[in-house]
A and B are shown apart, each in its own frame.
Chain A
Amino acid sequence: MRFSISPEMATQEVQPNETLSNLKAESDTLKTKLEDERAKLHDVELHQVAEKVDGLGQFIMKTRRTLKGHGNKVLCMDWCKDKRRIVSSSQDGKVIVWDAFTTNKEHAVTMPCTWVMACAYAPSGCAVACGGLDNKCSVYPLSLDKNENLAAKKKSVAMHTNYLSACSFTNSDMQILTSSGDGTCALWDVESGQLLQSFHGHAADVLCLDLAPSETGNTFISGGCDKKANVWDMRSGQCIQSFETHESDINSVRYYPSGDAFASGSDDATCRLYDLRADREVAIYSKESIIFGASSVDFSLSGRLLFGGYNDYTINVWDVLKGTRVSILFGHENRVSALRVSPDGTAFCSGSWDHTLRVWA
């Protein structure tokens, strides 16, 4: 259910005689009570309704491009709106911009820190943002002058008190949304580096985020080590919905193309689909033989397929409606750390700890 918390309520003073353990006990009791109430309501499962839908035929997807050039684990990647360029970042601090179609490297920057866990392409295609263990998010305008040192024009935008886990430009090059190991998300003005809004509510590291494609474009989701996936209002900074059904850290969240639902991938080796209007989990994508966590998930353009990159080096392809696994893709030689479908849905790219990126179609 949706509701709004007034700012005053959220910061109410705790009574001095309420000990931490009392609070925790009360919280747990309420949580159980809520779950009991929900269990009484008959909810329909997605796969039950989808029984009448045609099954998918034989699924063939192969690696069409292999991008080699990172000297260390690839941690993150993002597509450019031109549907063929990619930015990727790695453990050794390198951020590379590729034309994935020709596999040529177009730009390379070395960050002053290692473990660059987040990178994003600006909507205009003229800049990239990245960050990691430096606790910052920096923006690099992409210059075509081969002699120009990209690092010279670097702009420090976000400052967190712990590592940067994810970043994303909003509808323009002017604002960046970040998530961090310090448990918060934040919205920044790129030009001035000013903090526009901060989002508090996760009880531990926030590992991922995704912006809503909805028409009002005012919300985003985040997932964290507290096993929660939260939906936030960008304008007020409030958490408007929260889902806690995973059994371990949520590594990746991604909106369903219509914006009415989202998928999550977790260390508990499952991916789940949450319906935002029905306010509940509607599907679990798991298999007994899948033991390792899902690090990154994304939907195909129609939302029928969910691609999950896993820590056991494989990519599992799920039928979103029926809940079954359509295919398993081998190829990477170490864990898959990043996975994104291209903007026009013609392919998807996976980045791995085996130092390579692969484009599949």
Chain B
Amino acid sequence: MTISTLTRGGAQREQQHCLRKMERVIIAMQDPDIGLKMRNQRLLITVIPHAMTGNDIMEWLIQKYNITDEEAGHLGGLLVQYGYIYPLKEPRSLILRSDDSPYRFQTPYFWTSSRWPASELDYAIYLAKKNIRKQGELVDYEKQNYNLLHKRINHTWDFVVMQAREQIRASKQRRKADRIVLECQEQAYWLVNKPCPGAFDVFDLGPERCNVLNSRVILNSSLLFFLLRISSVPNNSLSSHFLLSLSCVCSFMKFCDQYHQHDPIMSGCLPSNPWISDDTTHWTINTDLVGTPTRLRVERWSFSFMELLNDCLGRREFMTYLEKEFSGENLCFWEACEDLRHGESSKIILKVEEVYKTFLSPGAARWVNIDSKTMERTLEGIKQPHRFVMDDAQMHIYFLMKKDSYPRYLKSDLYKNMLSKAIVPQETKKSVFPFMRRQRHSSPSPAMVSQATEDNEPKYL
């Protein structure tokens, strides 16, 4: 696999959309009605026609896209970097100045998308021209490129020099303004296509994508996919589809609303956001098995069963509740099934045996109550144990807990006490002296914490 920065296929694919969009912007900017007002700009003693100032570009972008100065400057800067607009003053510096510096639109002949990749021959001719016109005009990296090309296409060097001389002769016969414009266009093109090493490179794109695969196989499965989709498009009324659509969309609003207070970026966090204040209290009061949890945290357990289970403290509380009700084995079973599903392949058989012995066998110590059909299926499956053999049983127990035990837990004294005991930290007012930075303390690495615990099983053999 190669990293190709200039392959037509790879580079073109990724840049296609961007370049076309940039070109649309450029075309709009040159539109006689809605585009920029171009004027003659003075460059030293010469007058260059059809030019505009950096300021003009900024203003047009701000107005057209309804964006801020900063964004317009950024967008304009990209247009210059990609060679669609070039500066007349200080041509080597491809940036957009938001003052009266003169700029021109690059001619479509020299657009990044048109002449890609740049031809070696053309580059050789360009460098030869520069060299002939004025000795020492080439900068270091250009000299290096020139020498490299001289070696590589030595066989056509006579042609290169001949072409260079011819082009210089032809340009001498043009008006000075035209000559300067043509030279600037060509120079801008080469500054983008053969940038100084270390400078921004338009063609620096990363590993090549889109390795074509077996089209036949893919098309066949694609076809099948569409066939099945067509057959399942609802024939029922439009209104029921609309209602489904509506309810789905409303659920997003409900979710965002429910979690709004819990989203630190939206509502801040108490006592303060550690990244902003350098105070880690917010993290210390929310550690996994903290003594007294925060109110927000306990409230969150009531949002969904998954929220309760995902919080180790919540899960522990729920287990306590279940034990009181003599149904703790349900949660234990669920946890054992999770461990089976996500554990090492080598331990599957062992774990399945354990689960069977502890939870499913007749007279088991912690027998779980599953319906007979599921039990039958599971027992049959155990004969050839695999990672997912407990899925049905696990699902059954999960929904049992979710529909029955969980709602009752939320109404229980255990939960209500937790909620009332829960702390609501005071918001830290912004410090009077904002320049004083607190010392940022490091925390023990999770890798260390786990190495220290006694019953830690080695995770890697």
CB <8 Å contact, B275 and A303? no
Report whether A101 and B275 are in contact in the complex, using a CB–CB cutoff of 8 Å. Answer: yes
* Chain B residues near A124 (CB-CB < 8 A): 446, 450, 459
Interface class of chain A by DSSP: loop
Q: Is A170 an interface residue (CB 8 A)?
A: yes
List the A side residues contacting B34 at CB < 8 Å.
Answer: none
Give the CA-CA distance A168 to B445 in the complex, in Å: 20
Chain B 49-92 against A: per-residue CB contact (8 Å), 1 yes, 0 no? Answer: 00000000000010001010011001100100000000000000
A-contact bits for B20-43, CB 8 A (1 contact / 0 none): 011001000000000000000000
Residues in A whose Cβ lies below 8 Å from that of B249:
44-46, 49-50, 275, 278, 282
Binary contact track B217-242/A, C-beta < 8 Å → 1, others 0: 01111111111111011100010011
At the interface, yes or no: A309 with Cβ under 8 Å from chain B? Answer: no
Q: B420: CB under 8 A from chain A?
A: no
Q: Which of B155-163, B251-259, B318-326, B364-372 contacts A (4 or more CB under 8 A)?
A: B251-259
The A-contacting residues of B in range 268-314, CB under 8 angstroms, are: 269, 273-276, 280, 282-283, 286, 304-306
Query: What residues of chain A lie closer than 8 Å to B263, measured between beta carbons?
Result: 300-302, 304, 345
B344: chain A residues at CB < 8 Å are 174, 189-192
Distance of A347 Cα from B276 Cα, bound (Å): 9
- Tell whether, in the assembled complex, residue A34 and residue B275 are in contact, meaning their CB atoms are under 8 Å apart: no
Is B135 part of the contact surface with A, judged by Cβ < 8 Å?
no
B398 an interface residue at 8 Å Cβ cutoff?
yes
Which residues of chain A (183-240) have a CB below 8 Å from chain B?
Answer: 183, 189-192, 194, 196, 200-205, 207, 213-216, 225, 235, 239
Is A78 engaged at the interface, CB distance under 8 Å to the other chain? no
Known interface pairs A27-B222, A117-B207, A142-B445. Does A346 touch B75 (Cβ–Cβ under 8 Å)?
Answer: no
Closest to A313 in B: B74
Q: What's the count of A-B pairs with C-beta under 8 Å?
A: 331
Answer yes or no: B17 CB below 8 A from chain A CBs.
Answer: yes
| A92 is an interface residue with CB less than 8 A from chain B | no
Question: By the criterion CB–CB under 8 Å, are B459 and A173 in contact?
Answer: yes
Q: Which residues of B contact A133 (CB under 8 A)?
A: 1, 3, 207
Binding site for A on B (CB under 8 A): 1, 3, 13-14, 16-18, 21-22, 25, 61, 65, 67, 70-71, 74-75, 78, 200, 206-207, 209-213, 215-216, 218-230, 232-234, 238, 241-242, 244-246, 248-253, 255-256, 258-260, 262-266, 269, 273-276, 280, 282-283, 286, 304-306, 338, 341-346, 387-388, 391, 395, 398, 440-443, 445-451, 459-461
Q: List 15 A-B contacts (CB under 8 A).
A: A34-B226, A34-B229, A38-B233, A127-B459, A142-B447, A190-B460, A196-B387, A204-B211, A249-B14, A269-B18, A291-B18, A293-B17, A312-B75, A346-B264, A347-B275
- For the complex of A and B, 10 pairs with smallest distance between CB atoms: A125-B446, A302-B259, A302-B263, A361-B275, A289-B65, A30-B226, A172-B342, A1-B232, A278-B248, A189-B345
